[in-house]
Amino acid sequence: MQQARSMVSRLSSRLQALASAPCRSLSCAQDVLHRTPLYDFHLAHGGKMVAFAGWSLPVQYRDSHVNSHLHTRQHCSLFDVSHMLQTKIFGCDRVKLMESLVVGDIAELKPNQGTLSLFTNEAGGILDDLIVTSASEGHLYVVSNAGCREKDLTLMQDKVRELQNKGSDVALEVMDNALLALQGAVTSGCPSPCLKKNVAMGYVPYEYSRPGTPLLVEVRRKQQPAVVSKMPFVSTNYYILK
């Protein structure tokens, strides 16, 4: 009799556990999201939190994206990079290593100056974008996307082992071949709230790359006039360390 009661009790416990499993699973899924040090700040300022690469991050605040964009241009904004892959590269060959991975001129960076660059593979193809800063403490500080964390870290580790300087010539050859075949291609584009017109980046044959050159760009099967412009599209007015 005692054994029967014990079996019924265990069965009842299991049924209750099964019944509550979906709720508990959902709760666990929410609990495992990492939070940056600015999590409470985001909530206090109306941040709409979403899951991204295992982190709880604000996708938008109370104002619209356009208002946030204009505020950044007219005043100042900070971006929370706590969730991103942050890497410090030490050693006398750190610049050589980095320039074998990205397309930026890392050697020309001044102390505490950073640049947005592109992470490339062995064939010169673009894997990711990242920011490289030459820290005054004698190392390179690299910030790359959280969603590509494992891929980027693996490639950097492989390059550290190889310590070869062969990503530039290959990249230029691939880009030139692509331009001849495609006669130019837009890689990204969006409306500019500041300029109140569309802007884009892309590849064009060398003879059409001079600023001020008129082009025709196909947008939704319609050709639109465009002009080659020198970046940045909007003049910066932020403080630059000298």
Q: pLDDT per residue over 108-124, tens digit each?
A: 999 999 999 988 887 77
- Residue 135's pLDDT is what? 92
Distances (CA, A) of 131 to 105, 119, 219: 12, 10, 30
- Residue 111's pLDDT is what? 93
Distances (CA, A) of 28 to 38, 113, 156, 160: 22, 41, 33, 38
SS3 15: helix
- Residue 148's pLDDT is what? 80
pTM of the complete model: 0.62
Structure tokens that stand for 142 in this block: 């690299």
H or E segment at 43?
helix 39-44
Q: pLDDT per residue over 193-239, tens digit each?
A: 989 999 998 888 888 889 999 988 888 888 889 999 988 888 877 76
- Residue 239's pLDDT is what? 67
Q: Label residue 22 by pLDDT band (50, 70, 90).
A: very low
pLDDT at residue 72 above 50? yes
- Residue 240's pLDDT is what? 67
pLDDT at residue 172 above 70? no
Q: DSSP secondary-structure letter at 102?
A: B
pLDDT at residue 189 above 60? yes
- Residue 208's pLDDT is what? 87
Domains and CATH numbers, the chain: 34-80 (no CATH), 85-177 (3.30.70.1400), 187-228 (no CATH)
Distances (CA, A) of 66 to 52, 73, 74, 193, 194: 22, 11, 12, 6, 9
CB-based contact 57:35 (threshold 8 Å): no
- For residue 174, report the phi and psi dihedrals to the nearest 5 degrees: -65, -45
- Residue 81's pLDDT is what? 85
pLDDT averaged over the chain? 77
- Residue 199's pLDDT is what? 93
Q: pLDDT per residue over 147-164, tens digit each?
A: 788 887 777 777 766 664
> What span, in angstroms and rounded, lies between the C-alpha atoms of 134 and 217?
37
Q: Label residue 125 by pLDDT band (50, 70, 90).
A: confident
Q: Label residue 174 by pLDDT band (50, 70, 90).
A: very low
